[in-house]
């Protein structure tokens, strides 16, 4: 049995995720998202998709990127 880093549940089917220099042990994808998914630089929501990136930040959507000053961000190609 191991313990989930996010919720503390002791579980026999935990899994480990490593990304760059961060490693976590989780009992569910929900806990993995809460523990490791990046947060939008504007609204703080967890980003579980591709997001929108500039050179220094990641945003959950083009709207948040625009609100943070990335005026060229768009959700669609025209």
| Tens place of pLDDT per residue across the chain (78 aa) | 999 999 999 999 999 999 999 999 999 999 999 999 999 999 999 999 999 998 889 999 999 999 999 998 988 876
Q: Are residues 31 and 45 in the same domain?
A: no
Residues 55, 68: one domain?
yes
In degrees and rounded to multiples of 5, residue 64 shows phi and psi of: -65, -40
**60 within domain boundaries:** yes
The verdict on residue 58 lying in a domain is yes
Answer yes or no: is 63 within a domain. yes
> Contact at 8 Å (CB) between 7 and 31?
yes
Task: Report the DSSP beta bridge partners of residue 10.
Answer: 3
On whether residue 78 sits in a domain, the answer given is no
Has residue 51 been placed in a domain? Answer: yes
What distance in Å separates the CA atoms of residue 49 and residue 61, rounded to the nearest whole number?
Answer: 10
Reported pTM: 0.81
Domain residues for the domain of 25 are: 1-36
Contact 8, 18 (CB under 8 A): no
DSSP conformational letter for 26: E
DSSP 46: B
Number of compact structural domains in the chain: 2
């Amino acid at each position: 049995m191991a313990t989930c880093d996010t919720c503390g549940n002791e579980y026999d089917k935990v899994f480990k995720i490593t990304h760059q220099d961060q490693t976590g042990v989780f009992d569910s994808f929900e806990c993995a998202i809460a523990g490791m998914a990046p947060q939008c630089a504007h609204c703080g929501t967890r980003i579980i998709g591709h997001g929108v990136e500039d050179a220094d930040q990641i945003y959950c959507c083009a709207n948040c990127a625009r609100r943070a000053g990335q005026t060229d961000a768009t959700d669609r190609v025209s």
